[in-house]
Amino acid sequence: MPEYIVEENALKDFLQSISKGRVLLSPQGVGDKCQITETTPDKVTLNFTNTHISPKTLFFPQTEWLMSFQKDHSKPHPYVYQDLGDKAKSAVVFGIRPCDAKGLSVSNKVFQNDRFTDPYWKGKYESVIKVGLACKDPFPQCFCVAMGGSPYGATGLDVLAFPSEKGLGLKPITDEGAKLLAEANLKEADLSSELKSQEEAAIKAQGIPDDYSPIDHRGLLNLFQDPQWQSIAENCLNCGVCTFICPTCHCFDIQDEENSEGGVRMRNWDTCMSWLFTVHGTGHNPRPSKTERVRQRFMHKLKYIPMKQNGDRGCTGCGRCVVLCPVNIDIRSVALRMSTLNMQKQA
Amino acid sequence: MPSLEETTQKIRETAKKALADGKAEVVIGYKKGTYPLSTAPFFARTPEDCDQLIWSNFARINLANYLPGRPGKVAVVAKGCDARSIVGQVAENQFHKDNLYVIGVPCTGMVDNNLIAAKEQRPYRDYSETLDTITLKGADFSTEIKKEEVLRRNCRTCANRTPKTADELVGPEVPGAQADDFADLKELHSKSPEERMEYFKDLIKDCLRCYACRNACPLCYCPVCFVDETRPQWLGKSTDPMDTLTFHLLRGLHCAGRCTSCGACETACPVNIKVREFNRITEETVMDEWGYEAGLSWEQKPPLTVFQPDDEASFIK
Amino acid sequence: MSEFEPKIVAFFCNWCTYGAADLAGVSRLEYPPNFRVVRLPCTGRLNPKFILEAFKRGADGVWVSGCHPGDCHYIAGNYYARRKFIVMHYMLDSIGLEADRLRFSWISSAEATKFQHMATDVVEHVRACGPNLKFRKAPLILGMEEVA
């Protein structure tokens, strides 16, 4: 597929064209207010670090009303269940970072696979065309390369945009992306060599990545029984910030809220850092202490998800949890310790 | 004032001595973080461990949080506010004073990373700090920021910077800052109820209900928090604004007469909500009504555990 | 449109105000029927979350009433309660709850007339505030209209 180029002054027209008949979503605001929101072409900027909280909110909002039910026998339909899932709107998101797109593709396999399909996720995920923005200058907290990604990675994207010498380069990834670009009436250009050299420079800018591959090679029980979890748990506050801001954390809690007429079934983000997450109706809790809960988070990200998703890790190196953890529990150090432990056990 | 390095040295010596003298089996302190402008809590159990302890302008988390329920003898590095929290925990029987050795660090305030982010948007991978300045080092720049300008707001109005209840001080006492005069709360009170409710609803609109403020708080040690109670369920789990407001109100009320303005809650908040605003209301109340400030001496009783027969409450008809 | 009738949740101490309400009834003193009473063993039992829960579920007003200071059945329960009320009162006032929506009072079991007057007064003040729209949870939208 050919690459395209959009000159800087034509960016607005391009965005106008791709958002025709669709909602345009793009990162807006700065710092802790930077979020992907509905916007107009003239407000789009390429000058943002990354969204403060991961863009999973687009497809998996913190609170989502799934359905309602009514229990009034005087009405003609005393037990009516009505689907209340967000009506999916056809949209294009411009400026999603490769780490987040990859993270969402991990969640996508959880919500849609050969065993289950979650209609609430599917509707929203599939009606949004994802135009990613490559990271020419990775940020200090970034470690996507170490996690097997790239600042120019295309996983989970329909189109990859990157800053080129002549303007904004666009590389279609999927058929849908190619169609979007073909309709936009753009100038074709061969940017493959520029793309390649940019990617190499950006990867280099992240420094020599840590090698986490030993985690993948067997050793599930070794990792599980590692005494390091206790020392990590000693620091951990179990606050759950890491799970709420993570692009791949997808656990939720189903709740019914009722009034005298009926009720609503909703799902809310949940966090494995909370003791309530696993407590049983009997009062028994299979993860009774911080140690088990901390272990669950890292094992899930770095071991269980790769085992289920052909080696794709549940961490994409966006660095949010590294920055926001109040007690500086750094997933990079944890992953490194998991790797070295595994090597020792095998040796 | 001793420099950060001198204080660090002193903390290490004191920690080693506390371990050697059997005053503690573990010293809870700070070590350098893995990310610029951060520290991590650190549990030193051997003299070698103690060499990792540091003092920094980023020692924001309140280490008293790790005390309740911890077995054995513990030494803990404490700022003025942390030492006050420890006094509160001892008063509430969460930790026995005999098992405690408080290494007090006279503190000149901790830095708010959000204020630094507002001053320097360019990415930096390295930094250095002295007692009064923070220097950020990027690819092609180096910015020096005065600590005074980026202090956390609770540190700016901290009148108790020296942990007077500590077992040992690692430096000379430092003068306190001008105490919080609650001027902004008084101004808020001159507004209409509608405006006030608008203000507080706006304050918490980004809340993720992650409860990091609760978990970072040294006072929040309940085995089951009211937000986690399910029989009955007091609080909905959704992002309903009223549920969120109820959480913040009740947290504020639970901390009444106990909060020491350590700012751990605001530091932990991932979306930078000024959660302490609720605590400040109760702080002002206990100050105005009973002239009480939490955790200043081992003898004082928390105001809600005692009463005077003639307590003034003219609003009760 | 009919006149707004406020819904008030009342928390009464078993040993005084609850008795006063009973005495007022036995004495055939008329008072408005707008409140639903929750009986407490002592006002010291009142947890702040009870008040917030009442408002959250849509109560237009809350009325807490117990024994006069010094008269507590458990000797000091209402003294402790009084300090809690002070903190609660300032907190809810500061965040912008109209002062008239939340009432605290001391009424002994002999004060049926005080109870009658207080009940009328509470209801009238809450009525003047109007329905509680801001300090309650948004009603659930069941979306049933489309189905029926």
Instruction: Judge contact between B315 and B285, C-beta under 8 A.
Output: no
Name which of C53, C144, C146 to mutate to probe chain A: the one with the most chain A Cβ atoms within 10 A of its Cβ. C144
Residues B21 and B170 in one domain: yes
* Two structure tokens written together for A174: 């999927």
Shortest alpha-carbon distance between residue A168 and chain C (Å):
45
Phi-psi region of B41 (alpha: psi -120 to 50; beta: other; left: phi over 0): beta
CA distances from C9 to C51, C65, C103 (A): 8, 11, 11
Identify the burial level of B4 via C-beta atoms within 10 angstroms of its C-beta, where 0-12 means exposed, 13-18 middle and 19 or more buried: middle
Going C35 to C40 to C42 to C43, the CA torsion angle's sign is negative
Residue A28 identity (one-letter amino acid): Q
Residues B180 and B224 in one domain: yes
Does C28 contact chain B (CB < 8 Å)?
no
Residue C92 belongs to some domain of the structure: yes
Residue for token digits 């006063």?
A: C20
All residues of chain C having their beta carbon less than 8 Å from the beta carbon of residue A77 are 144, 147-148
CA distances from A321 to A54, A143, B18, B42 (A): 11, 12, 34, 19
Name which of A136, A278, A327, A331 to mutate to probe chain B: the one with the most chain B Cβ atoms within 10 A of its Cβ. A327
C-beta atoms of A52 and B271 within 8 A: yes
Residue B202 belongs to some domain of the structure: yes
- Give me the helix-helix angle, C77-94 and C48-56, nearest 10°: 40
Residues B132 and B253 in one domain: no
Q: Which residues of B touch C (CB under 8 A)?
A: 185, 188-189, 192-200, 226, 234, 236, 240-243, 245-246, 249-250, 252-253, 256-257, 278, 281-282, 284-286, 289, 303-305, 307, 309, 311, 313, 315-317
* Two structure tokens written together for A285: 């809790």
Shortest alpha-carbon distance between residue C28 and chain B (Å):
23
All residues of chain B having their beta carbon less than 8 Å from the beta carbon of residue A289 are none
Q: What is the pLDDT of residues A176-225, one digit of tens each?
A: 999 988 888 888 888 888 889 999 998 988 888 888 888 887 678 888 88
d(CA A231, CA A238): 14
CA atoms within 13 A on the CB side of B284: 19
How many helices (H) and strands (E) chain C has is answered by 4, 4
Residues B87 and B216 in one domain: yes
d(CA A151, CA C138): 43
Strands B53-54 and B26-32: antiparallel
Does A261 contact chain C (CB < 8 Å)?
yes
Shortest alpha-carbon distance between residue A78 and chain C (Å):
10
**Containing domain of residue B163, as a range?**
4-112+151-305
Residue B276 belongs to some domain of the structure: yes
In this structure, how many other beta carbons lie within 10 angstroms of the beta carbon of residue C9? 21
* Two structure tokens written together for B145: 């920021």
All residues of chain B having their beta carbon less than 8 Å from the beta carbon of residue C98 are 193
ipTM confidence: 0.91
Residue B231 belongs to some domain of the structure: yes
Residue B61 belongs to some domain of the structure: yes
Instruction: Calculate the CA A242 to chain-centre distance.
Output: 13
The predicted pLDDT at position A218 comes to 62
* Two structure tokens written together for A321: 């949890």
C-beta atoms of A80 and C147 within 8 A: yes
Closest residue to B197, CB basis, from C95, C106, C138:
C95
d(CA C144, CA C148): 6
All residues of chain C having their beta carbon less than 8 Å from the beta carbon of residue B313 are 82, 85-86, 89, 104
Ordered per-residue pLDDT tens for chain B, 317 residues: 889 999 999 999 999 999 999 999 999 999 999 988 999 999 999 999 999 999 999 999 999 999 998 999 999 999 999 999 999 999 999 999 999 999 999 999 999 999 998 888 888 888 999 999 999 998 889 999 999 999 999 999 998 999 999 999 999 999 888 888 888 888 888 999 999 999 999 999 999 999 999 999 999 999 889 998 888 888 888 888 999 999 999 999 999 999 999 999 999 999 999 999 999 999 999 999 999 999 999 998 999 999 999 888 888 88
C-beta atoms of C142 and A68 within 8 A: yes
Concatenated DSSP letters of C42-61: -GGG--HHHHHHHHHTT-SE
All residues of chain B having their beta carbon less than 8 Å from the beta carbon of residue C95 are 196-197, 200, 245, 249, 278, 281
C-beta atoms of A82 and C148 within 8 A: no
Tell me, what CATH number does C24's domain have? Answer: 3.40.50.960
Instruction: Judge contact between B307 and B262, C-beta under 8 A.
Output: no
Residues B130 and B249 in one domain: no
**Containing domain of residue C18, as a range?**
8-129
Residues B31 and B82 in one domain: yes
Q: What is the pLDDT of residues A94-109, one digit of tens each?
A: 989 999 999 999 999 9
Q: Which residues of B touch A (CB under 8 A)?
A: 33-36, 38-43, 60-61, 65-66, 114, 117-118, 121, 123-125, 206, 208-212, 214-216, 228, 230, 236-240, 264, 267-268, 270-272
Identify the burial level of B194 via C-beta atoms within 10 angstroms of its C-beta, where 0-12 means exposed, 13-18 middle and 19 or more buried: exposed
d(CA B27, CA B141): 38
C-beta atoms of C140 and A263 within 8 A: yes
All residues of chain A having their beta carbon less than 8 Å from the beta carbon of residue B268 are 237, 239, 241, 326
Residue C143 belongs to some domain of the structure: no
C-beta atoms of C144 and A68 within 8 A: yes
Residues B193 and B289 in one domain: yes
Residue C112 belongs to some domain of the structure: yes
Provide the domain count of chain B: 2
Residues B11 and B145 in one domain: no
Closest CA to A312 of A111, A137, A109, A121: A109
d(CA B166, CA B187): 36
> Which residues, 6 or more positions from C4, have their beta carbon under 8 angstroms from its beta carbon?
C127, C130, C131
Q: In 3-state terms, chain A is what percent helix, strand and coil (to 5)?
A: 35, 20, 45
Residues B96 and B172 in one domain: yes
pTM score of the predicted model:
0.92
The predicted pLDDT at position C146 comes to 47
All residues of chain C having their beta carbon less than 8 Å from the beta carbon of residue A63 are none
d(CA B209, CA A277): 14
Closest CA to B249 of A182, C49, A130, A238: C49
The predicted pLDDT at position C1 comes to 47
pLDDT of C148 over the 50 cut: no
* Two structure tokens written together for A204: 């280099």
Residues B252 and B132 in one domain: no
C-beta atoms of B230 and A276 within 8 A: yes
Closest residue to B197, CB basis, from C52, C53, C96:
C96
Q: What is the pLDDT of residues C36-48, one digit of tens each?
A: 999 999 999 999 9
C-beta atoms of A328 and B33 within 8 A: yes
Residue B310 belongs to some domain of the structure: no
Closest residue to A257, CB basis, from C140, C143, C148:
C140
Beta carbon pairs, B and C, within 8 Å: 111
Chains that touch C (3 or more CB pairs under 8 A): A, B
C-beta atoms of B249 and C91 within 8 A: yes
Provide the domain count of chain C: 1
Residue C146 belongs to some domain of the structure: no
> Which residues, 6 or more positions from C83, have their beta carbon under 8 angstroms from its beta carbon?
B303, B304, B307, B311
* Two structure tokens written together for C49: 């979350």
Instruction: Calculate the CA A40 to chain-centre distance.
Output: 24
Residue B212 belongs to some domain of the structure: yes
Task: Name the DSSP letter for residue A8.
Answer: G
C-beta atoms of B198 and C96 within 8 A: yes
Residues B180 and B262 in one domain: yes
Residue C93 belongs to some domain of the structure: yes
Closest residue to C83, CB basis, from B234, B284, B311:
B311
All residues of chain B having their beta carbon less than 8 Å from the beta carbon of residue A140 are 35-36, 123-125
Helix (H, G, I), strand (E, B) or coil at B211: coil
Concatenated DSSP letters of A171-202: EE-SHHHHHHHHHTT-EEE--HHHHHHHHHHH
All residues of chain B having their beta carbon less than 8 Å from the beta carbon of residue A235 are 40-43
Closest residue to C95, CB basis, from B249, B289, B315:
B249
Instruction: Judge contact between C119 and C35, C-beta under 8 A.
Output: yes
Whether cis (ω within 30° of 0) applies to the bond prior to A209 is no
Residues B208 and B194 in one domain: yes
Q: What is the pLDDT of residues A263-301, one digit of tens each?
A: 889 999 999 999 999 999 898 999 999 999 999 999 999
All residues of chain C having their beta carbon less than 8 Å from the beta carbon of residue B302 are none
Chains that touch B (3 or more CB pairs under 8 A): A, C
Q: What is the pLDDT of residues C109-146, one digit of tens each?
A: 999 999 999 999 999 999 999 999 888 888 887 766 54
Residue B297 belongs to some domain of the structure: yes
Residue B314 belongs to some domain of the structure: no
